[in-house]
Structure 1
Amino acid sequence: MDDAGGLPTETRRGIAVVIAVVFLDLLGFGIIIPILPFYVRSFGLSDLFIGLLAASYSFAQFVAAPMLGRISDERGRRPVLMLSVGVAGVAWTVFGLAAEVDAAFGTVAAVATLFGARTLAGAAGGNIATAQAYIADVTSVDDRASALGLVGAAFALGFVFGPAIGGLAASDAVVGAAERVLPAFIPTTKFSLPSFAAATMSFIALATAAVVLKEPARTAVAANRVSFLAQFRRTFADVTLRPLVVAFFLTSFAFAGVQVMFVPFVADFFDYDATEAALFLTYIGVLGTINQGVLIGRLSKRYSPRPVVFAGTVSLFLALLLLALSPFLGALIPPPGGPVWVTGGLLVLLAFGALASFGNGAVTVGLSTLVSQGAAEGEQGSAFGVTQGAGSLGRTVGPPLAAAAYVVVYWSPFVAGALLMVPVVLVLRAGRR
């Protein structure tokens, strides 16, 4: 880790293990992305259930993140991280067995299995608050932004490689090979194999944490059974943390909706098929990894977190407006020459991807750093839990609303997302000390 080179070896090792655990956890989540719509349709369900399943994960994460953060303050970071990735492994295993449940007990039971497993995985996914709190425990204020940026880079890498692994595991060649190699009692379908691959990633993360990860030295807090709502009320009573929670919600609300509607948008207006859309998402993911792992960490060394967040919101504002206008701008830009697939529209989308990846990374890292600076020493986990919970709530309600807006006027979710960056700037300015 470039910016953490001055940290003790033990600290660097702990940060590396936490980042590896986050990466493996998110890799498992990403593996499920390409199969989820087709898995739902295989049971004869409406596409509405695709959105509901996606929302169930985010809502469970929203509820669980503050609780896991608080428990990690009381009981320790290591046991919470280990428990959560172990639960995720069980959840993804059960998720892959829904077809067997359907054959034995019927479709209703299979759907309940899907929702139960997805909800359990979402609750386990609330461990990001604990991972961030671990980073805050072992780094100084000067090194924290860079380390938190690497956690964001692990997120980005999980979304780059996860869907690719999921698509590979669902391919006919891999399914055929699995049928020949695996015992007959293990289901080998294009839905079960990616699910089991996701579970494997979670169990590898569990083994890694169990063997290598050590509990950080920190100020523990006494057990205090504060309710979920009480944590949010207490956080909102803090004039420093309140605007950060609001900002997490608004940016997550806006960006999650755009993420969901991006693929149908490029299919409708640029004739992209699923492979082309996936390649473009990979481009954004690679840029996000570079931004959060290198560029934003260096900017955070030079500037305080608040200007970094402001730069990110401006970048997102411009990116979303550019996306809304891309069909018109693409038609105005003459082809630059070269391969026929290099069009004006592609150039506009590439610019959108660069701005969006930087903006999302700068906002995420900057807000996380502000939370770590504003929270009390013994309540880092709780503070990160509440703010990440607010982000999960935004990712729960944003996509269905964006989809409804897209049906009415295609550009409306992108313009609305851009406009939501304005109140983000305002609440951060209002919360400035």
Structure 2
Amino acid sequence: MSVETGSKDAAGASDRLDWRLMLPLFAIVSLYAAGIGAVLPILPFYMRQMEASPFVFGLVLASEALSQSAASPLLGQLSDRFGRKRILLASHFIAVVSLLLLALAQSIFTVLLARFLFGLTAGNFSAAAAYAADNSSPANRRQAMGVVNAGLGLGAIVGAGLSSILSEISLDVPIYMALALSAFGVTVTMFGLKGDTVVRQPAAEADRAKILFRATVGSPVIRVLIVVMLCHCFAFGMYTSQLPNFLADHFVWNGRALGPREFSYIIAADGVINILVQLFLLRWFGRFFSEQGLITLIFALICTGVVSAGIASSIPVLAFAILCISTGDALAKPTYLAALSVHVPPGRQGAVMGAGQALVAVTDIVSPVLAGFILGLGFYAAWIGAVVAIAITGAMIAATCLPRHAAAGTTAPGPPL
């Protein structure tokens, strides 16, 4: 065999994911997402039974985002130091405790405390993304991130589908199901995930690590990507956090007001779209669109979907709105994560992923409260207009500040650190 042929074979091997490592991670993320998918459709209606207003519901979501923003950077750094597996185990344990507290809640304060605790499980996704980055090459990094996000989509489908059935019995039952899924996630993580090879930094290296991290996030491309991510997540957070309250008041589904069962269908549809995009569209879009063009398309889809949802008076129009928004969000996550990861040294993947997620969580603190305040005043058009304006701002920043020539998710690495 010639040297050239051997080189091609080696390159081809490096381009292929190791599915023995990816499949357990896929299962762990799916279980985590299924727990979220089971609770998310019933939570607004669970709180409506406690006579909570949209503003109070927004405060509960903000408390979860607040703990997430505090925990994400710390957990990301801890996963760099102690390993992804330990952080994933810890997040599943915390999820079990918080879901048990939610199931037993008798007051809004208890619900708020339960969701605050659940926000501490934010390390699950950042550790999973860092694990995927650790076990993939730059050539297949976007595909590895797609595996993580496809797990989120599958989990959302399963969790929401079961929730739609179980919520007809009681709104408590889906919560107990989510608790059981999180407990199973502990088992899968413990016995199914490969142990990490942790490179511990000496104490003398701490200052150098901080300098490296500041240099990493000081990259102009990374700064632009973070700002674009913030615009995306702020707009998406304002939309998703209050969508069930908006539809419950303004949309009739099969002759009755939208409830937890109908909202479960929307969550399940979002999961289906997420998986289809990851499997069939992500690589195709990455081949034909630059990073700048793909991000602009993502914001265009969000704007179209939000406006369509605001004027929807029939199921086809609402379905079109969900299709646009879910497609845009499914394209966004692996695109942003892959673009960030190729600029980050291997030993800082967890820290940067966690820091990025913490910044995103800051938007999740403000967006549900602001959206709840606007809807509480009855300014529905202002709510839609604010979401569209933020999305347009993100698109303009991406169009003017990101390089036009780079393929999506394959941005050239920045200068050596």
**Corresponding residue for 1:340?**
none
Q: 1:257-301 CA distances to partner (integer Å, 9 max, x unpaired)? A: 112333344444442322444434433332122112331134335
**Corresponding residue for 2:280?**
294
Alignment partners' CA distance in 1, 2:103 and 2:246: 30
**Corresponding residue for 2:158?**
161
Equivalent AA in structure 2 for residue 283 of structure 1? A
Q: 1:22-72 CA distances to partner (integer Å, 9 max, x unpaired)? A: 111121122222443454455566664432222211221122111111111
Once the two structures are TM-superposed, the CA of residue 217 in structure 1 deviates from its matched residue by: 5.2
Equivalent AA in structure 2 for residue 372 of structure 1? S
**Corresponding residue for 1:177?**
none
Q: Pick from 414, 419, 422 the counterpart of residue 384 of structure 2.
A: 414
Q: State the secondary structure of the residue aligned to 1:197.
A: helix
**Corresponding residue for 1:64?**
71
Alignment partners' CA distance in 2, 1:37 and 1:346: 21
Q: Pick from 34, 44, 49 the counterpart of residue 27 of structure 1.
A: 34
Once the two structures are TM-superposed, the CA of residue 9 in structure 1 deviates from its matched residue by: 9.4
Equivalent AA in structure 1 for residue 95 of structure 2? A
Q: 1:221 to 1:16 in 2, by over 3 A?
A: farther
The unaligned stretches of length 5 or more in structure 1 are 100-109, 173-189, 331-344
**Corresponding residue for 1:430?**
401
**Corresponding residue for 2:234?**
253
Pairing 1:200–2:207 present: no
Q: 1:249 to 1:117 in 2, by over 3 A?
A: same
Q: State the secondary structure of the residue aligned to 2:72.
A: helix
Q: 1:427 to 1:38 in 2, by over 3 A?
A: closer
Alignment partners' CA distance in 2, 1:271 and 1:350: 14
Q: State the secondary structure of the residue aligned to 1:411.
A: helix
Q: Pick from 338, 358, 361 the counterpart of residue 369 of structure 1.
A: 338
Question: 1:5-24 to 2 correspondence within 5 Å?
Answer: 11-24=18-31
Instruction: Work out whether residues 305 and 369 of structure 1, in 8 Å CA contact, stay in contact via their aligned partners in 2.
Output: no
TM-score (norm 1): 0.78
Instruction: Work out whether residues 15 and 135 of structure 1, in 8 Å CA contact, stay in contact via their aligned partners in 2.
Output: yes
Alignment partners' CA distance in 2, 1:385 and 1:295: 27
**Corresponding residue for 1:244?**
225
Q: 1:239 to 1:221 in 2, by over 3 A?
A: farther
Question: 1:303-322 to 2 correspondence within 5 Å?
Answer: 303=289, 305-322=291-308
Q: 1:113 to 1:72 in 2, by over 3 A?
A: same
**Corresponding residue for 1:95?**
102
Equivalent AA in structure 2 for residue 247 of structure 1? V
**Corresponding residue for 2:315?**
346
Once the two structures are TM-superposed, the CA of residue 201 in structure 1 deviates from its matched residue by: 1.0
Alignment partners' CA distance in 2, 1:231 and 1:317: 37
The unaligned stretches of length 5 or more in structure 2 are 1-11, 404-413
Once the two structures are TM-superposed, the CA of residue 413 in structure 1 deviates from its matched residue by: 2.3
Equivalent AA in structure 2 for residue 200 of structure 1? A
Q: 1:221 to 1:357 in 2, by over 3 A?
A: farther
Segment drifting more, 148-157 vs 292-301: 292-301
Segment drifting more, 385-394 vs 34-43: 34-43
Pairing 1:79–2:86 present: yes
Q: 1:328-368 CA distances to partner (integer Å, 9 max, x unpaired)? A: xx7xxxxxxxxxxxxxx433333322221221112222111
Once the two structures are TM-superposed, the CA of residue 254 in structure 1 deviates from its matched residue by: 0.4
Pairing 1:129–2:126 present: yes
Alignment partners' CA distance in 1, 2:235 and 2:186: 33
Q: Pick from 241, 244, 262 the counterpart of residue 263 of structure 1.
A: 244
Number of residues of Structure 1 aligned to a counterpart in Structure 2: 383
TM-score (norm 2): 0.81
Instruction: Work out whether residues 73 and 221 of structure 1, in 8 Å CA contact, stay in contact via their aligned partners in 2.
Output: no
Once the two structures are TM-superposed, the CA of residue 307 in structure 1 deviates from its matched residue by: 3.3
Once the two structures are TM-superposed, the CA of residue 21 in structure 1 deviates from its matched residue by: 0.9
Equivalent AA in structure 1 for residue 322 of structure 2? G
Pairing 1:209–2:195 present: no
Alignment partners' CA distance in 2, 1:198 and 1:264: 22
Q: State the secondary structure of the residue aligned to 1:374.
A: coil
Q: Pick from 141, 145, 149 the counterpart of residue 144 of structure 1.
A: 141
Once the two structures are TM-superposed, the CA of residue 197 in structure 1 deviates from its matched residue by: 1.9
Q: State the secondary structure of the residue aligned to 2:355.
A: helix
- Report sequence identity in percent: 25
